[in-house]
A and B are shown apart, each in its own frame.
Chain A
């Protein structure tokens, strides 16, 4: 048999489970919503999301947070779907960065009502 894929980790040695958690930031909740909406509207599937996450490799997995990985995968899947081009994305990123220094300054949309942290969001 050939070697296993890196993400297929059942049974591999690993350290203790660290029971850490955090509340999700607004941008993370937005990433979650973008994935839900893009898949609901048929642009791609969660299988496509996973395929790109897997293709990013183990180093990206270990050095980036969950939603950092997700937004990269959502973006790549949307480009593959033809929704926008690489050039359109690059121009948009340049425009976004020119707006300011922080997420608050660069995002034109006001935070969604009720999108603050709440108890029980694990």
Chain B
């Protein structure tokens, strides 16, 4: 196996989509995690849902700590949540800029 580079950090976009079909959970929007793995590209469900021709979009599994998501409310800070997030919902985080807005 090739040597792994350090995990890439990504932030889920804090967009609002109320009333529309969107697959980025609300509780993860604006939160930062690491790329657990890349899953390949899948048709964009936000187009498929409306019966539209859909573009393949790269899909990532992002790992978040409970501390990142829930702050002081976390049941156990270093437990984790992994979720699949489509690329258009992600913004890369530069080194040293890992605070959610």
Bound-state Cα–Cα, A115 to B30, Å: 47
Chain A residues, CB < 8 A from B19? 5, 55
Among the listed A3, A11, A48, which residue makes an inter-chain contact with B70, where contact means beta carbons less than 8 Å apart?
A11
Q: Once the chains bind, are B16 and A1 in contact (CB under 8 Å)?
A: yes
Contact flag A47-B26 (CB < 8 Å), given A2-B16, A3-B18, A5-B19: no
Q: Once the chains bind, are B51 and A8 in contact (CB under 8 Å)?
A: no
Bound-state Cα–Cα, A1 to B22, Å: 15
Q: Once the chains bind, are A45 and B17 in contact (CB under 8 Å)?
A: no
Kindly supply a per-residue 1/0 record for chain A positions 17-61, scoring 1 wherever the CB is within 8 Å of any chain B CB and 0 otherwise: 000000000000000000000000000110110110011000000
- State whether the Cβ of B100 lies closer than 8 Å to any Cβ in chain A: no
Bound-state Cα–Cα, A4 to B30, Å: 13
Chain B residues, CB < 8 A from A47? 21, 45-46, 48-49
Chain B interface: which size bin? 20 to 34
Bound-state Cα–Cα, A2 to B16, Å: 5
Among the listed A8, A48, A51, A80, which residue makes an inter-chain contact with B26, where contact means beta carbons less than 8 Å apart?
A8
Among the listed B29, B30, B51, which residue makes an inter-chain contact with A48, where contact means beta carbons less than 8 Å apart?
B51
**Contacting residues of chain B (17-48) with chain A, CB-CB under 8 angstroms:** 17-22, 25-30, 45-46, 48
Bound-state Cα–Cα, A81 to B51, Å: 8
Bound-state Cα–Cα, A47 to B38, Å: 22
How far apart are A72's CB and chain B's nearest CB, in angstroms?
16
Max chain B C-beta neighbours (<10 A), residue from A2, A11, A47, A81: A47
How far apart are A15's CB and chain B's nearest CB, in angstroms?
17
Which residues of A approach B to under 8 Å, CB–CB? 1-5, 8, 10-11, 44-45, 47-48, 50-51, 54-55, 80-81
